[in-house]
Each structure stands twice: as C-alpha cells, then as structure tokens.
Amino acid sequence: MGEALQALLGNINPYLLQIIVNIGIGIVLALGLNVITGLTGQLSLGHAAFMSVGAFSSALLTIHTGLPFSVNLLLTGIITAGVGVVIGYPILRLTGDYLAICTLGFAEIVKVIFLNLDITNKALGLSVPPPHTTIPMPIMVWIVVILTIIVVSFIHNSRFGRALKAICGDEIAAEAMGINVARYKVQSFAIGTFLAGVGGGLYAHFISYINPSDFGFLKSIDILSMVVLGGLGSIPGSVIGATILSAAPEFLRFMASYRMLVYGGLLVFMMIFRPNGLMGGINFTEVVLRAIGRKPHMKELMKHEKPEQ
C-alpha cells in the first residue's frame, strides 16, 4: 500500500508537497495552542518548547527503538503531555501575563537544557532517521491533521470544553459554578502540549534534522500568531491562520529579503483591520448551513458560541 501511495504523490510537485506538509504541521500545532490560549484563555508563549520536547523524544524513539511510527507519535504525545503537566501544575496558578512570561521562561530553560544534553547531541543537533512506516510523510501528516480536527471539535462541544470556555470567560464565576478550575486548566494544558508533541514528532521526521535553537521564542510566536490571526477559540480560524502563515513565507519568497518585512507589517495591519482574527465573530456552522441552503438551528448556534475575550 505504501508504494502505491508513494507513486500517487510522485505526480505532485515536491515543492508544493513540502508546503502542504508544513501547513499540516502548522495546523496541528495551532490547534494545540488554541485549546490552551483560545479555549481556556491561558496565554502560553512557550508552545515551541513542547514542540521541541516532542521532536526530540520522537527522534530518539525512532533511533533507539523499532516502534512503528504511529505508536511512536502516540508515545511522543504522552511524554510531552507528561512534561506539560509537570510544568503546568505549578505555573497555571499564575494568571495573565505572569503565566505568559513563566511559559516563556520555561521555554528558554528547556531550550538551554537541550543545548547541553549529550543525548540530544548538544548544539550540533540531531539527524533523524526515516520513520518506521510505509505510509509517506504527507499522508501521515494529514491523517494526523484530520484526527486532530475531529478530536478538538469533540472537545469544543463536550462538557469538558464548555468548562474550559467558562474558565476563559470568567475564572471566578466558573469556580463559583463548581468547576474545578485548577484541574481543568492542567488538563487543557495536557491536551495542548500533547498536540504540540505530536506536531514536533511530525516536524522532526519531515525535516530530518532538528536543533534546539530551531524551537526558540520566535517559533512560539509563530504558532501564537496563527491562532490569533485565525481568531481565538475558533477551530476553522486556527486552520486558516496556520494555512496562511505557513504558506505566506513561501508565497512572499519572490520578494526575497523584503519577505520578513512584509510579514511583520502584515501582522500589524491584520490586527488593526480584524482585531478578533479572520474568523473571529463568524459562526462557522451557520455559514456552512446557510451555504447548503438550510436554516441554522438555534441549538446548533448556541453550541458554537464563542466566549468573548
């Protein structure tokens, strides 16, 4: 089956394929951060650090064990979520910007630790062997993307997701309603970091060379920009944000050195003209239902109501 899929992808321009994979990895990372920052309202500036935990553990699993890639990714996610819980448990007591700077601090610490560990080959970085699977990478990535979107949509509409939205809306009111705020925050952090780990694992095997310095503050900011640009708390928003920002550097490539200049300016103008993100305030279900010619049901709309920031 693997060879047939490989042959299928052989017809697609490799450069285009690379962009498509980048978009897929971006979506997984953005959806993970969206659970923490968009849904629960806890600003994290250290998402890339969890991505690096995932990237290195996934790479080491491939090097030292013969586990199939899907098991590898699952284990990677669990390891990363474990790290996320250990870090998140003490710091999620903090609120707002104090939490933000703490996640940033932890991200820098994780980076420096990886730069000094023997097992991660210090500052030289790690070459990642090809994954133990016959499914080609682009298809693997997009299977994960679809699974992620399904799982995150379930979370959004579940009792758990509503509790997270309540915490985002007003922490004290949520607590008064009997929501165990501390526990839910750590759980949402675990889900977000799980996805960060899986995204990191995919990234490591796709790029096939990882270096702790690749997962710095700017990478975290990249992911955060995807979520905010798309609209906080919105799943289609995160997908669109990740797509635009993963593809933008490629499409701006013709401008060569002006690329990042335009990118920076774009972020500012986007925020000025659509401060709540591209999909902010737009109800995706309603749009889809209207498009297929059905009147949206009120109950459907309530389910997707976004908490105001």
Which residues of this protein are in contact with another protein, per CB under 8 A?
37, 43, 90-91, 93-94, 97-98, 100-102, 104-106, 108-109, 111-113, 115-116, 172-173, 176, 217-218, 221, 224-225, 228-229, 232, 257-258, 260-261, 263-268, 271-272, 275-277, 309
Question: In this structure, are residues 36 and 178 in contact, taking their beta carbons and an 8 Å threshold?
Answer: no
Give strand pairing partners of 127. Answer: 209
Least distance CB 172 / another protein (angstroms): 5
Nearer residue to another protein within complex by CB, 263 or 284 = 263
The pair of three-digit structure tokens given for residue 292, joined into one six-digit string:
């297929």
Identity of the residue, 143 or 260, whose beta carbon is nearer to another protein in the bound complex: 260
Contact 196, 51 (CB under 8 A): yes
Question: CA angle, 170 as apex, 169 and 172 as ends, to 5°?
Answer: 160
Q: What is the dihedral of CA 146, 148, 214, 258, to 10 degrees?
A: 60
Q: Which residues contact 275 (CB under 8 A, 6 or more apart)?
A: none
Nearest distance in Å: CB 109, another protein = 5
What is the per-residue DSSP string for 44-62?
-S-HHHHHHHHHHHHHHHH
For residue 266, the minimal CB distance to another protein (Å) is 7
Q: Would you say 10 or 90 has its CB closer to another protein?
A: 90
Sign of CA dihedral 169, 170, 173, 177: positive
Residue 157 CB coordination number (10 Å): 12
Nearer to another protein, 146 or 262 (CB): 262
- Which residue, 130 or 264, has its beta carbon nearer to another protein? 264
Least distance to another protein, CB of residue 169, Å: 13
- Considering the complex, state which of residue 131 and residue 280 has its C-beta at the smaller distance from another protein: 280
